[in-house]
């Protein structure tokens, strides 16, 4: 049986551990959620009117055998949410993490009062309400009554979540703010390839690329916003003829093609048969993180967003770490910003693979200009790099994030920085930087590389930065 979005299909099925035969009319509304209408065989006339809507985890998502080996597992009765089978509850986000709820609510398109309801991470069968209040996300536990129903405080209970939402959209009644519009959902992630043809064959016809707008230029070439096949927005990096060895330029492309992660810029294709050589990647419309931070200067970006930036970059770097790659040029200028607060590591021009023959150090064989203010002291001294030297650079990136793109070691030359680092000097704690954030920076700047945290550790430190029981607002404040 073939499923397609938006189309209804009817299935006859005998429920497990029962003798009841049911007809299910279902409609696929997303890759992970299927809504089922439950129709009794003895009451076929009810088919047109019955609306006991259920949400199930479809077994074909989890194991082979399709609908014939169902093993249905009920998730959440949507009749708890609504009396209307046509309303698919834009505010219900299912089993997403609290941190993901915050990220989605903090999208600039959401306004105060934006909200969502999600399944609780810590308490099975319970729900949580997440609400945006003047740039801050607040969370409330929604508890179940033994006899059925929901409540924040037993002073006021509700038969369904739909009643719950209906009430709090009319009055705050103890909440931080009256509920407004449901949280907007994140955009569809960028694909890993332009089409199935470019998965393995990544040389494409140059005529399929249209250059629209120059985004920037550098010593070796330009970056353009472009369009592939008049359909797909892309970024196009060009190489000035004679400016560098084409093999070095293509090495970056080969590295990017081998690395696939949601927090790394994805390579789509190349055009190498004539000059100028093109590298085609996904388009990040807001440019570099450095410019993004400098342009904001604290007007809209606050600590929650800054921690999220750090977490996303650490996630991408943790993947590089797991794949035995080092970046060697990690900085805010080499992190790109997309729609909906998405941040991705870019510019793998200096990246190298390590852990060859049980070694975790890469020694550069060529004269390369190093970004001294971002480079670990041992890498400057010996020209040897490791993933731990990337961790040092990440600490400098954290400084850039928390200071809205300020230059580290401002007023100091590269030679002065090297001298000061030799005397164990470290960048001071910025005035707006929380101690918890600064302590992570100091960990990254440990003099001994082996004592610096891994990127995996850094990722969870920032993912869990705000996670405490106090993250949930006290419902005892409800009167």
Please give the backbone phi and psi of residue 306, each rounded to the nearest 5 degrees, phi first.
-65, -40
C-alpha to C-alpha distance for 207 and 228, rounded to whole angstroms = 9
- What share of residues in the chain are helix, strand, coil (percent, to 5)? 30, 25, 45
237 a known binding residue? yes
392: nearest Cα among 432, 448, 345, 324: 448
C-alpha span between 141 and 118 (Å, rounded) = 10
> Residue 231 burial (CB < 10 Å; 0-12/13-18/19+)?
exposed
Distance between first and last Cα of the chain: 54
Q: Which of 329, 360, 390, 474 is catalytic?
A: 329
Is 329 part of the annotated catalytic residue set?
yes
CB 328 within 8 A of CB 351: yes
Stretch (H or E) spanning 212: strand 209-217
CB within 8 Å of 469: residues ≥ 6 apart: none
How many CB atoms within 10 Å of residue 200?
Answer: 8
Phi-psi region of 455 (alpha: psi -120 to 50; beta: other; left: phi over 0): alpha
Residues designated catalytic: 329
């Amino acid at each position: 049986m073939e499923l397609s979005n938006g189309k209804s299909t009817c299935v006859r099925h005998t429920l497990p551990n029962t003798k009841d035969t049911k007809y299910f009319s279902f409609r696929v509304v997303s890759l992970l959620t299927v809504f089922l209408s439950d129709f009794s065989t003895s009451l076929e006339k009810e088919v047109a009117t019955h609306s006991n809507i259920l949400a199930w985890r479809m077994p074909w998502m989890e194991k082979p055998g399709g609908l014939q080996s169902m093993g249905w597992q009920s998730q959440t009765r949507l009749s708890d949410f609504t009396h209307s089978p046509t309303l698919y509850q834009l505010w219900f986000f299912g089993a997403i993490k609290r941190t993901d709820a915050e990220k989605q609510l903090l999208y600039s398109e959401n306004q105060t009062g934006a909200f969502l309801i999600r399944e609780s991470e810590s308490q099975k069968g319970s729900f949580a309400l997440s609400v945006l209040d003047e740039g801050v996300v607040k969370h409330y536990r929604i508890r179940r009554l033994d006899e059925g129903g929901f409540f924040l405080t037993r002073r006021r209970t509700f038969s369904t979540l739909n009643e719950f939402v209906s009430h709090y959209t009319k009055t705050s009644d103890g909440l931080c703010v009256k509920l407004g519009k449901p949280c907007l959902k994140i955009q569809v992630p960028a694909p890993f390839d332009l089409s199935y043809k470019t998965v393995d064959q990544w040389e494409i016809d140059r005529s399929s690329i249209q250059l629209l707008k120059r985004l920037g230029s550098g010593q070796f070439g330009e970056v353009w916003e472009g369009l592939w096949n008049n359909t797909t927005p892309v970024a196009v990096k060009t190489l000035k003829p004679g400016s560098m060895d084409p093999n070095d330029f293509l090495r970056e492309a080969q590295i990017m093609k081998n690395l696939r992660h949601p927090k790394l810029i994805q390579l789509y294709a190349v055009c190498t048969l004539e000059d100028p050589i093109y590298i085609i990647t996904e388009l990040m419309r807001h440019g570099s993180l450095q410019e993004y931070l400098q342009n904001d200067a604290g007007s809209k970006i606050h600590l929650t967003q800054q921690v999220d930036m750090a977490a996303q970059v650490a996630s991408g770097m943790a993947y590089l770490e797991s794949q035995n790659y080092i970046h060697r040029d990690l900085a805010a200028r080499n992190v790109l910003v997309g729609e909906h607060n998405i941040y991705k590591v870019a510019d793998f021009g200096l990246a190298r693979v390590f852990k060859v023959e049980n070694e975790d150090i890469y020694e550069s064989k060529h004269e390369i200009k190093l970004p001294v203010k971002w480079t670990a002291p041992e890498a400057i001294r010996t020209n040897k790099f490791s993933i731990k030297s990337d961790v040092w650079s990440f600490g400098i990136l954290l400084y850039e994030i928390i200071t809205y793109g300020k230059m580290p070691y401002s007023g100091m030359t590269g030679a002065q920085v090297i001298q000061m680092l030799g005397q164990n000097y470290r960048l001071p704690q910025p005035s707006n930087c929380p101690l918890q954030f600064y302590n992570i920076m100091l960990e990254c700047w440990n003099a001994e590389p082996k004592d610096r945290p891994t990127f995996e550790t850094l990722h969870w430190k920032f993912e869990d930065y705000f996670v405490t029981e106090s993250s949930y607002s006290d419902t005892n404040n409800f009167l």
